[in-house]
Amino acid sequence: MRYGLVGSTGRMGQEIKKAFVDHTLCLTVDAEKTWSDGTQPEVIVDFSNRSSLPNTVNLCVENGSALVIGTTGLNEDDFSMLRELGKDVPVVQSYNFSLGVNILKMILASYSKLLEDWDSEIVEIHHNKKKDAPSGTAIMLQEALKKPAVMHSLRMGGIPGDHSLIFANEGEVLSFNHRAISRAVFAYGALEAAEFARSANPGFYTFEEVLRCKLKK
């Protein structure tokens, strides 16, 4: 697979290059500097920041490339841009490409009706350089619940990502916890999404949909 990488010198960019070691990096974008070996990437991967999104979308249009995007802090205009791109190429978007987080999201969505009368709070902890709060993952998990939940955000040290969901009624407490031990888990999820996107029909997909397609095989 030929792939392009936006933010290739960043921490996630380095992890993605390790995960994609058996594939060919043919395009990189870093701080307004673009390098290409002259071939067209089948998939472009972007885990950088939302200010890069317009340029990333333009690169996908120019090259006919699918897109895997894990950028957080996106707004409705950004999603509109991605859905418009999805009319022409496959786009896989998620705030978290961890298999475990997406399984948790699927569990919450399946049983949200049973938890609607419980008090619900979400605690998320990330490294002290993460700018957005609450995290995109916390927002994604709250959306799976289909109800509001109080959210607490901590920014400490070099923690890749911890998420805890706590539910309580008058007689019991139920909690779910997910801890990312390494950023590599997100890069391997991105690889799975890229392998899906290179042969998928144009459209706007979540990583959960990628996993559900895998279950059907």
Q: Where are the domains of the chain?
A: 2-93+184-215, 99-181
CB distance 47 to 12 below 8 Å: yes
CB distance 40 to 65 below 8 Å: yes
Look up residue 200 and give its DSSP letter: S
In DSSP terms, 125 is beta-bridged to 154, 162
- Report the CATH number of the 2-93+184-215 domain: 3.40.50.720
Any idea how long the chain is? 217
In DSSP terms, 216 is beta-bridged to none
Distance spanning both ends of the chain, measured CA to CA = 21
Domain 99-181 has CATH 3.40.50.10110: no
Distance CA 117, CA 58 (A): 45
Encoded tokens for 85: 């791109």
- pLDDT given at position 99: 94
Instruction: Per-residue pLDDT tens, the chain, 217 aa: give them.
Output: 999 999 999 999 999 999 999 999 999 999 878 999 999 999 999 999 999 999 999 999 999 999 999 998 899 999 999 999 999 999 999 999 999 999 999 999 999 999 999 999 999 999 998 888 999 899 999 999 999 999 999 999 999 999 999 999 999 999 999 999 999 999 999 999 999 999 999 999 999 999 988 877 6
Name the pairing type of β-strands 150-155 and 119-126: parallel
| Residue range 92-115, pLDDT digits in tens | 999 999 999 999 999 999 999 999
What global pTM score does this model have? 0.87
Judge if 2-93+184-215 and 99-181 fold alike in CATH terms.
no
- pLDDT given at position 80: 97
CB atoms under 10 Å from CB of 205, counted, come to 22
- pLDDT given at position 31: 82
Distance CA 80, CA 60 (A): 15
Write the single-letter amino acid at 81: M
Name the pairing type of β-strands 119-126 and 90-93: unpaired
The catalytic residue positions are: 126, 130
- pLDDT given at position 214: 80
Q: Is 190 helix (H, G, I), strand (E, B) or coil?
A: helix
